[in-house]
Amino acid sequence: MKFDTMALEIPQNGMDRLDALWARGREFLGCGYAILGGAMTWVSEHGLVAAISNAGGFGVLATGAMSPEQLDAEIAATQDATDKPFGVNIILMHPQLADLTDVCTARAVGHVVLAGGLPKRDHIARIKDGGAKAIGFAPALRIAERLVGFGVDAIVIEGAEAGGHTGPVSTSVLAQEILPHMTDVPVFVAGGIGRGEAITMYLEMGAAGCQLGTRFVCATESIAHADFKRAFFRASARDAVLSIQLDPLFPVIPVRALANAGTKRFREIQREAIDQFRSGSVDQVEAQLKIEKFWAGQLRAAVIDGDVENGSLMAGQSVGMVTVAQTTQDIIAELVEQSAAALE
């Protein structure tokens, strides 16, 4: 699929080299540019997802805590807004995981991204039997190899620089660890990517494409509250801090967000959940869901209601590169121009 690049100031040689580097990713995703929109709860809804896909990238709906009925409506709205490919991100700990997958199958979604844990072999098979391609997150080479053995069609490696739920290892280290050895399936790199030159670097290392979330939060098509966007404009990379896991016996995925009163409250909620788990009043799954519900609620308070003091301002360390409001098309065009220019 080719998109018009005549309006961009891109040397043709650089564009040709870029097309060659991410050819595998473009073919896998079915889009013009192998740039995925990171799935961000409350932000990556049908409007922004369709805008990313319409601009030549690959939008991904964030299911978050949606019910199957809500997801069905969101997919339908996205399909009404674009005829381009897009994906759906599903959290593995969702209590209605199978039902959400069936909704994707019924709506003929082409790509399902599984996040928040290690998917089981039978669930991957359920996705593929429904006609979709399964994409999994891998925080280490061994896990990437295991997921490929389970049948996933592509891998996303996301470094600690990413916003929201993230892992402990930097993007550059993960890329060096995984890209030279993972050739059976396309691998997309995410975490802290804010410019096209970084995309080019990872493509030259062997990536099929890159995933960006933070750069799209303040797009004009984003429904994020104006105060939420202003917090991004004011922030620097140092402001996007990682939450601390209080107890290694209780697995909590770290969350990167702009520091405020909400990040302090998360430590309190986490302590309460751990205490309840230890006392036996709730099991591990219930405790994890309590923590997840806190983030979902506080994230909504920030993104939708504009409570930037107490809400969760999930952001990657690339937030310092988000300084003005841009259309999604302009963001992607800028990234492509920078990527191709770096190859010229």
pLDDT number for residue 144: 96
Q: What's the pLDDT band for 270 if we cut at 50, 70, 90?
A: confident
Q: What's the pLDDT band for 252 if we cut at 50, 70, 90?
A: low
pLDDT number for residue 247: 74
Q: What's the pLDDT band for 249 if we cut at 50, 70, 90?
A: low
Of 33, 105, 60, the closest CA to residue 336 belongs to: 33
Out of 47-51, 253-257, 280-284, which region has the weakest mean confidence (pLDDT)? 253-257
The CATH superfamily of 12-223+322-343 is: Aldolase class I (3.20.20.70)
Percentage of the chain with pLDDT > 70?
95
Of 315, 318, 313, the closest CA to residue 303 belongs to: 313
CB 50 within 8 A of CB 78: yes
Is residue 100's pLDDT more than 60? yes
Of 121, 131, 191, the closest CA to residue 156 belongs to: 191
Is residue 272's pLDDT more than 70? yes
Of 339, 11, 318, the closest CA to residue 197 belongs to: 339
pLDDT number for residue 285: 80
What are the Cα distances from residue 110, in Å, to 61, 131, 192, 256? 12, 7, 27, 29
pLDDT number for residue 2: 41
Q: In the predicted model, what is the mean pLDDT of residues 125-154?
A: 97
Is residue 313's pLDDT more than 90? yes
* 309 Cβ neighbours under 8 A, 6+ residues apart: 260, 261, 262
Is residue 243's pLDDT more than 90? no
Q: What is the 3-state secondary structure (H, E, C) of 112-153?
A: EEEECCCCCHHHHHHHHHCCCEEEEECCCHHHHHHHHHHCCC
Q: What's the pLDDT band for 263 if we cut at 50, 70, 90?
A: confident
Q: What's the pLDDT band for 264 if we cut at 50, 70, 90?
A: confident
Mean of the per-residue pLDDT values of the chain? 93
Is residue 289's pLDDT more than 90? no
pLDDT number for residue 245: 74
Q: In the predicted model, what is the mean pLDDT of residues 57-65?
A: 96
Of 185, 45, 162, the closest CA to residue 115 belongs to: 162
Instruction: Report CA 258 to chain centroid distance, whole Å.
Output: 17
Q: What's the pLDDT band for 3 if we cut at 50, 70, 90?
A: very low
CB 154 within 8 A of CB 137: no
> What single DSSP character describes residue 155?
E
What are the Cα distances from residue 138, in Å, to 25, 189, 248, 259? 17, 10, 20, 27
Is residue 1's pLDDT more than 80? no
Of 252, 254, 241, the closest CA to residue 287 belongs to: 252
Cα–Cα distance measured from residue 35 to residue 44, given in angstroms and rounded to the nearest whole number: 15
Q: In the predicted model, what is the mean pLDDT of residues 324-342?
A: 96
Query: What size, in residues, is the chain?
Result: 344
CB 97 within 8 A of CB 68: no
pLDDT number for residue 6: 40
Q: In the predicted model, what is the mean pLDDT of residues 139-162?
A: 97
Is residue 143's pLDDT more than 50? yes
* 66 Cβ neighbours under 8 A, 6+ residues apart: 74, 100
Instruction: Delimit the CATH 3.20.20.70 region(s) of the chain.
Output: 12-223+322-343
Give pLDDT tens digits for 24-43. 999 999 999 999 999 999 99
pLDDT number for residue 293: 75
Is residue 201's pLDDT more than 50? yes
> Could you tell me the pTM of the whole model?
0.91
Q: What's the pLDDT band for 250 if we cut at 50, 70, 90?
A: low
Q: What's the pLDDT band for 168 if we cut at 50, 70, 90?
A: confident
